[in-house]
Amino acid sequence: MTSQADNQKIRGAEASAHLQDFDTPADPGLIDSRYAAMRLLATLALVTLGNGAMYVLAVMLPEVQKEFGISRADASLPYTLIMIGFGAGGILCGRWADRYGIARVLALGAFGSFAGFVISGLATNIVVFALAHGLLLGLLAIGSSFVPLIADTSLWWNKRRGLAVGIATSGNFLSGTVWPPIVQWGIEHFGWRHTYIALGLVCGIGMALLCMRLRQRPPMAVAAKAGAGASHHSSDRPFGMSMRLAQWLLFTAAMGCCVAMAMPQVHIVAYCTDLGFNAARGAEMLSVMLGFGIVSRLASGWISDHIGGLRTLLLGSALQAVALVLFLPFDSLASLYVISAMFGLFQGGIVPSYAIIVREHFPPQEAGARVGVVVLGTQVGMALGGWLSGKVFDLTGSYHAAFINGIGWNLLNIAIVATLLLRLRVKPQH
């Protein structure tokens, strides 16, 4: 039990935490504390603000196409660039956060959010509009407000690390729930350009204010740096292999599970229309997936606190494969709603599990950069999976083969994760 003296020390550390500069390491007593909980709430708000652009764009798409007089493919280019920027920004901003601290990186993201939305609202052609999304909103705003925040959160929690990471990553799905109806209302009352400018003000200023609450450096990363050269760290050989090999295996696993994940998420609306249902039903199914995805992230976080990130990932991936299989024999409207809910419930916790795995098996001072690489794998998988499923459909004239393709990629993920789990059972020989 914690003594009264320890409690007084923690309260003192919490009181002084808000007064520290950007480079001051936190007192280790703040791990799992009320101060860590305060940071977690700020993190949730930052993810919700910083990740909004990818969901805003889906609502803006028809207006942008009409405004610039372009094709649907050209109007979709900003989304492609924002996802590329998201993947690259996760690595860059993760490395910067490891080196300079999360607050400085988030301040840069706040500028990217403000400038990206405002420039998009003032853009006179699709090229400027697309570049603003890729470089400012994708690379800086989303890049700074997802991967670095996940890595930072993992360093402030021990007992409830999985749940904390689950709460932080839920901000991404929460953003997809909150912003679209607000943006649609703004378009109807003020027009899409004024709505974009308003988003820049709200998100940019909001991120700038919140990042000041996260200016103190995590204690565990600083401690790891201090002792890195003194002794051999157990995480220098994760899973009994080189860090580079372990990193690339996790990258491949992340890509595999997200190729499979993309099949329903990207094509559920088109799949419903092919079956003769209204497109609005497919949109509702997508909303159901995202809603249950929030539940999944919280539940998976709690599970990972009890069985570890790797086992949680294996469980989520196996259940995702089951949901994909269920899409094959069942195609009635009611069954598709149920399976969509199941799919969201199973897959939502997969991506946060990778952050837990990195924290558990790699040096903590490299958490930002390494989580960034794995999340890049998920973005590559989503991009490849969305395109590949469409290509399979074009070749076969049916989504049946596309579901089977997704199941195959899912099995690749399961094979890699199972292999890593088995290697943990083997004691390394010294």
- Report if residue 1 sits inside a domain: no
Mean pLDDT score, 293-321? 92
The domain boundary residue, chosen from 194, 223, 252: 223
- The more confidently predicted of residues 12 and 239 is 239
pLDDT over 90 percentage in the chain: 45
Please report the pLDDT score of residue 105 as a whole number.
Answer: 96
Q: Is the pLDDT of residue 106 over 90?
A: yes
- Average pLDDT over the chain, rounded to whole? 86
Q: Which of 263, 295, 261, 267 minimizes the C-alpha distance to 282?
A: 267
Residue 110 in domain: yes
pLDDT at 225: 43
Residue 25 lies in a domain: no
Statement: residue 70 has pLDDT above 90? no
Q: Is the pLDDT of residue 23 over 90?
A: no
Q: What is the mean pLDDT of residues 419-430?
A: 74
Handedness of CA 376, 178, 105, 76 (dihedral sign): positive
End position of a domain, from candidates 188, 223, 258: 223
Least trusted range by pLDDT, from 208-212, 235-239, 298-302, 419-423: 235-239
pLDDT in tens, 217-244: 888 554 444 333 333 344 678 898 999 9
Residue 296 pLDDT > 50 = yes
- Same domain as 361, residue 216: no
Assess whether 251 and 377 both reside in one domain. yes
Type of residue found at 99: R
Mean pLDDT over 253-282 rounds to 85
Residue 64 pLDDT grade (very low, low, confident, very high; cuts 50, 70, 90): confident
pLDDT of residue 335: 94
Assigned token pair, 35: 């101060």
Q: Are residues 281 and 322 in the same domain?
A: yes
Domain identity same for 59 and 178:
yes
In a domain, 23, yes or no: no
Residue at which a domain ends, from 200, 223, 246: 223
pLDDT tier at 262, thresholds 50, 70, 90: confident
User: 202 and 342 share a domain?
Assistant: no
70 lies in the same domain as 169: yes
Establish if 54 belongs to a structural domain: yes
**Structure tokens that stand for 169 in this block:** 């990553």
Residue 76 pLDDT class (50, 70, 90 cuts): confident
- Provide the residue range defining the domain that includes 266: 234-425
Does residue 285 carry a pLDDT above 90?
A: no
Residue 111 scores a pLDDT above 70: yes
pTM of the model: 0.75
* Angle, in degrees to the nearest 10, between helices 279-307 and 333-347: 30
Residues 241 and 372 in one domain: yes
Q: How many domains does the chain have?
A: 2
pLDDT confidence of residue 421: 93
pLDDT bucket at 7, cuts 50 / 70 / 90: low
Q: How many CB atoms lie within 10 A of CB 284?
A: 16
Q: What is the CATH number of the domain that holds 182?
A: 1.20.1250.20
Least confident of 215-229, 260-274, 278-292, 314-328: 215-229
Give pLDDT tens digits for 137-175.
999 999 999 989 998 998 899 888 889 998 999 998 888
Q: Judge whether 4 lies within some domain.
A: no
Residue 81 lies in a domain: yes
**Cα 314 from Cα 130, distance rounded (Å):** 37
Question: Do residues 202 and 257 share a domain?
Answer: no
**208 and 247 part of one domain:** no
Q: Are residues 254 and 361 in the same domain?
A: yes
pLDDT at 405: 93
| 258 and 373 inside one domain | yes
Residue 266 shares a structural domain with residue 308: yes
